[in-house]
Amino acid sequence: MQFIFDPRQLLHDPELYFRRGAFIPHPEQPQRAILVRDALLAAGHTMEAPRDHGLAPIKAVHDDGYVDFFMTAWPDWVTATGTTVPAVPNYHTDRRNWRVPKGVIGKLGYYSTDTSCPVVEGTAEAIYWSAQTAIEAAERVRSGAADHIYALCRPPGHHAVQDASWGFCFFNNAAVAAHHLLGRFQKVAVLDVDTHAGNGTQDIFYRRGDVVYVSIHTDPSDYTPFFMGYADETGEGAGAGATHNLVLPVGAGVDDILASYDAALDIIRASGAQALVLSLGVDMAKDDPLSLVGMTTEGFRIGAARVAGLGLPTVLVQEGGYLGPSLSDNVVAFLGAFEDARRA
């Protein structure tokens, strides 16, 4: 399979993450993308670089001020604080009821929901080129140049809401790709198979009817993202009925997960979607350090073949999947099975 990647995505390299009252090594490391890239090349997949599509496709789903802030946050932080320590917010607010402050310290809190997205020197370039990778893949599908293509996006994106970072995510690559596909297709489906609910993607499309959002994920009642991703959240206004959260219990095994794949695919078929964005998290793997369920490499192969069976033009966008033993094996298995099923 052809895949898109830019090495500038490796420049975001946070060392630590404040979680549960302590600093721990940050799970979202550049090595994630390096391992996957090298494994895909070794397996015979072909890599190409994205073109620069600018900020407009990103701003089509994200708040202008939010996007502009993260493009200059690092130099603004250094100037304001006189330090080069990572920029981590220590103020947070309800963005809908308060004003956007003037200074970088206040803005960092305004445009962030948690401490998982520290800004470092290379953050702006990394998140920009992660988004460009998704846009390039979507543009190739939108133009008809590709029927399916994989965007090796890193940092990931599906937790980023319209105007705030969240859960390692700055720009919502899958949402940007889905909106871009609407330039050709009248209705697009987003299928999210990451072990965490894609609350950002849900939030962005919750009141829209042109994008159907279906997510398979672990119960968020005591698990990231905590505040969204429940089965009774189904959309509002024009988006009523277009959001579907298929919630897995902690400890779910391969059979449970694949049954949810089948249910998700039935929803997408019934929706009339003409194209698909797959938020491909492989952190459901039983050996992933953030997983509470038990997916296997063979399970990923089976799931991939079933998704391919939809026959829809598809952009596959990398989300989670952390430094567990099977990370690169699972991505290679998924993409290989998807490609084989399409050729069959």
Residues with a known catalytic role: 159
Q: DSSP string covering 258-313, please?
A: HHHHHHHHHHHHHHT-SEEEEEE--TTBTTSTT-SS-B-HHHHHHHHHHHHTT---
Evaluate whether 124 touches 71 at the Cβ level (below 8 Å): yes
Residue type present at position 89: P
Q: DSSP string covering 69-93, please?
A: HHHHHHHHHHHHHS--S-B------
Cis preceding-peptide flag for 155 (omega within 30 of 0): yes
Tokens matching residue 200: 């950002």
Q: How far is CA 165 from CA 94, 280, 293, in A?
A: 13, 19, 25
Evaluate whether 119 touches 87 at the Cβ level (below 8 Å): yes
| C-alpha 211, offset from chain centre | 16
Place of tokens 């979607």: 273
DSSP, collapsed to helix, strand or coil, labels residue 49 as coil
